[in-house]
Structure 1
Amino acid sequence: MKSRELLKKLKKELENFSIYDIMMVRSFIEKDAKYLPPQYREHYINSMMKYLIETFHEIKKKKCEDIKDEEIDEEKLKKMLERIERFKKYNTPEEEKFIKLSKILCPYLAFIAKKPLHPTYLTFPGNVRIIKKGNTYYCPVKNKQINEYSLCEFCVCRSFDELKSSKN
């Protein structure tokens, strides 16, 4: 599959999302973040919602002819979508909307926009953020989060370790 075909498909799927669906996604993110440290929870929720809405609008506005028509690794895309399905743990309507939206936004960010799956303005515990040097993104948690539920392997970010080693 080519990137323009994927974008067309993602745009079509996004047409079915309403403001009510976005509110359900926020509700899910709020419930899912309940175990985060209180001083971090609100920032996390607001940052993720802002990025979600920014990406939502970016996809809607993006024209297929404005992107490079590159080959998409379909096995990698399939693996990402299957991984997103593993996020399910509550079986609520809010979670269903979150999963559905994640299956649109994450492939767009990873395969078309080539942007991090988390916003660069999100502060992770430890007061660290994703850093962009030139056209390369570096994530402080990339190596710490690789597991069968993580999407880190699909993210364009490199590990902070690579940033540190490039300074030596």
Structure 2
Amino acid sequence: MVEKLEDLDFEERINKNELLKILKKEARSIHIQDIMKASNFLMEDAKFMPSPERNDYIARFTKAFFTRIKDIKDDQSEYSGDVNPEKLREFLKVQDEQAQNSHNKDELCFHRIARLVSTYTTFIREESIHPVGTRFPGGFTLRYVNGVYLCPVKDKQKDTPSALCRFCVSVQDKIID
């Protein structure tokens, strides 16, 4: 059995439940110190944001990391179907490139946790990568309405090579268009 995301064979069928087992194993290796390092990176990354947005950004993502790591560890659901191996390969490649460009251990921890959490939300849960309520410039937020994730920046970011937007299940929020 595959133990790590790096060991996946993208030429074979990848079942959601098998992917979840790998994510659970990796989630068990995330400790509180790792989440604190990721939070330190968020603080540094957001230092030039206006104060209310910065504080919300740091709090929301730190809480999301705690919550999602716990969700992954505790998830006992059975998921039907397979993931698209090519899409997963590309998704992990983008994240690995970002992690390789980390400037310090805090940023590396951030990327490690973000990779795990976003893989879970995107490929297992089929939910938005960003947590509902995430605020974006201009005061716009990611919303969940009638079973659809509405993102205010989807169309503007989906072609950005380093952005994960093209993999996200959210759609452009037409109110903001």
Q: Distance in 2 between matches of 1:18 and 1:31?
A: 20
Residue type of the partner of 1:136?
V
User: Sequence identity of aligned pairs in percent?
Assistant: 30
Point out which structure has higher relative CO (alpha carbons under 8 A, 6+ apart): 1
| CA displacement 1:52-83 (0-9 Å, x = unmatched) | 111111111101xx222311111111111111
Q: Which has the higher strand share?
A: 2
Q: TM-score, normalised by structure 2?
A: 0.85
Unaligned ranges ≥5, structure 2: 1-13
- Does residue 111 of structure 1 match 2:117? no
**TM-superposed deviation, 1:8:** 0.2
Q: Distance in 1 between matches of 2:52 and 2:152?
A: 19
Residue matched to 2:81: 70
**TM-superposed deviation, 1:132:** 1.6
Q: What is the root-mean-square deviation in Å for CA atoms of aligned residues?
A: 1.7
Q: Distance in 1 between matches of 2:61 and 2:27?
A: 18
| CA displacement 1:124-149 (0-9 Å, x = unmatched) | 22121112222111100111122001
Residues 87 and 33 (structure 1 numbering): CA distance in 2 closer, same or farther, change over 3 Å? farther
Which stretch of structure 1 is more off in the superposition, 27-36 or 87-96?
Answer: 87-96
Residue type of the partner of 1:124?
F
Q: Which has the higher helix share?
A: 1
Q: TM-score, normalised by structure 1?
A: 0.89
Unaligned ranges ≥5, structure 1: none
**Runs of 4+ in structure 1 displaced over 4 angstroms?**
none
Q: How many residues align?
A: 162
Q: 1:3 aligns with which of 12, 16, 34?
A: 16
